[in-house]
Amino acid sequence: MLVCAFAVVVAVGLVALAAFLSRRFGHGADDTDPGGTSAGHAGAMLSSLFLLVFAIAIVVPWTVADSARQNTYAEAQAAVETYWSAAGLPAPASGQVQQQVRDYVGFIVDKEWPLMAAGRLSPQSAVRLETLRANVAALRVTADEEREARSAVLDRLTELSGARRQRAADAAATLPPAVLALTIVTGAVIIVFPFLAGARPKGAALLPLIAMTVLLAVGVYLTWHISHAFTGGLAVGPEAFTGALRELQSAGGR
């Protein structure tokens, strides 16, 4: 924050110094025209700055949401593969592990997903995974096929835990507040800039300004509305897990 304030002070000081030196050495001419060089240059740069910040505010959440959606499918697939790998475990452990996997996926859909809108995951899902991992690791197996199955299940559980951690990171990710604040500030400056430059639009000249104000307000609202991967207009839904749960429930009923 101090660095930002220092940068602002330096920038204002630079403008004041340039204006003083220009007058001191008699360089240039007074520019009081709202459509003159100074106003035109400042307006163009402010517009460019707003477009740059606005693009960041749109592209970053879009990219995060797309990545988060792909990660949910990777986690759901890891759960399905864990389920099928457990079929090679000795009975009755195989059925118990498969039931635990089904319960885990169901817990994500029913209990954990609503919490992700607040940027967090339920600690119970981590407990369920660790319990499942401990149960599988403690299984006594004798046949080579059973050892391979236990090793495969543990590998799949490792993938599942890694995917869950990635989902936790995606749920916590959000647009930096400074980006949204800068979007609002630059948008507001662009709206009032003609008045700051000395113009006094009247009549039909106000219509483009009003239209621009409305569109800027919509754009700022849009940046806020899509700032989180699991809420708003780009919200990632639990479709990957609901699809996996249907598959597992169908397999369990065979």
Angle between helices 93-107 and 37-85 (to 10 degrees): 160
Whose tokens are 């009549």? That residue is 203
Q: Which two tokens stand for residue 84?
A: 């099928």
Whether 125 is covered by a domain: the verdict is yes
Per the CB < 8 A criterion, the answer to whether 128 and 107 are in contact is: yes
Find the angle CA(16)-CA(17)-CA(21) to the nearest 5 degrees: 120
Residue count of the chain, please give it: 254
Whether 141 is covered by a domain: the verdict is yes
Residue 3 pLDDT greater than 60, yes or no: no
Instruction: Lowest mean pLDDT of 22-31, 72-81, 120-129, 188-197, name the range.
Output: 22-31
Find the angle CA(151)-CA(72)-CA(103) to the nearest 5 degrees: 60
Q: Which two tokens stand for residue 30?
A: 């007074």
Whether 15 is covered by a domain: the verdict is no
Q: Which of 244, 50, 79, 45 is nearest to 161 (CA)?
A: 79
pLDDT digits (tens, 9 = 90+) for 101-134: 999 999 999 999 999 988 899 999 999 999 999 9
Per the CB < 8 A criterion, the answer to whether 162 and 79 are in contact is: no
Q: Which of 155, 125, 124 is nearest to 137 (CA)?
A: 155
Whether 23 is covered by a domain: the verdict is no
Whether 2 is covered by a domain: the verdict is no
Whether 33 is covered by a domain: the verdict is no
Domain count, the chain: 1
Whether 30 is covered by a domain: the verdict is no
Domain residue limits at 214: 40-252
Nearest-angstrom CA–CA distance, 116 and 200: 49
Instruction: Quote the pLDDT of residue 9.
Output: 54
Q: How many beta carbons lie within 10 A of that of residue 139, not counting itself?
A: 18
Give one DSSP letter per residue of 12-47, joined into a string: HHHHHHHHHHHHHTT-S-----TTSHHHHHHHHHHH
Residue-averaged pLDDT of the chain: 83
The phi and psi torsions of 86 (rounded to 5 degrees) equal -70, -15
Find the angle CA(44)-CA(59)-CA(214) to the nearest 5 degrees: 55
Which of 145-159, 197-211, 212-226: highest mean pLDDT?
A: 145-159
Residue 32 pLDDT greater than 80, yes or no: no
Nearest-angstrom CA–CA distance, 170 and 3: 29
Whether 155 is covered by a domain: the verdict is yes
pLDDT digits (tens, 9 = 90+) for 221-235: 888 888 888 988 888
